[in-house]
Amino acid sequence: MIKLILINILLLGLLATPVLAANITKYTFNDIVISNQVVEIEASVKGTRKSGYSTCNYYSDNYIQYLGLYAKAVFAGSTAQQVRDYCIAHYSERVL
């Protein structure tokens, strides 16, 4: 009986693992014009539509200078366009 319970617990754990594993998607957006400045953006989105964490790293044209980071515990989007728009919208809120 104890073996059966342990096997069931292990099987449930194996089945739940893919569901609990967070998805991480990375994006690079080059030559984005924000406030008359050319910006390079590296973004990552971790999680699902229900919960997540998104980061946007900003660089000057050709990655010459680091311009800052915006990060928040939200899901920025599931498409490149959504993530791009999210990072552009939060450019002024970045932290150096």
Complete DSSP assignment for 43-92: EEEEE-SSSEEEEEEEEEGGG-SEEEEEEESS---SSHHHHHHHHHHTGG
Q: Which residues contact 83 (CB under 8 A, 6 or more apart)?
A: 25, 27, 43, 45, 54, 76, 77
Q: Look at residue 78 and tell me if it is in a domain.
A: yes
Q: Look at residue 46 and tell me if it is in a domain.
A: yes
pTM for the predicted model, two decimal places: 0.76
pLDDT tens digits, 31-42: 999 999 999 999
Yes or no: say if 87 and 41 are a contact pair by the CB < 8 Å rule: yes
Q: Look at residue 57 and tell me if it is in a domain.
A: yes
Q: Look at residue 32 and tell me if it is in a domain.
A: yes
Q: What percent of the chain has pLDDT over 90?
A: 72
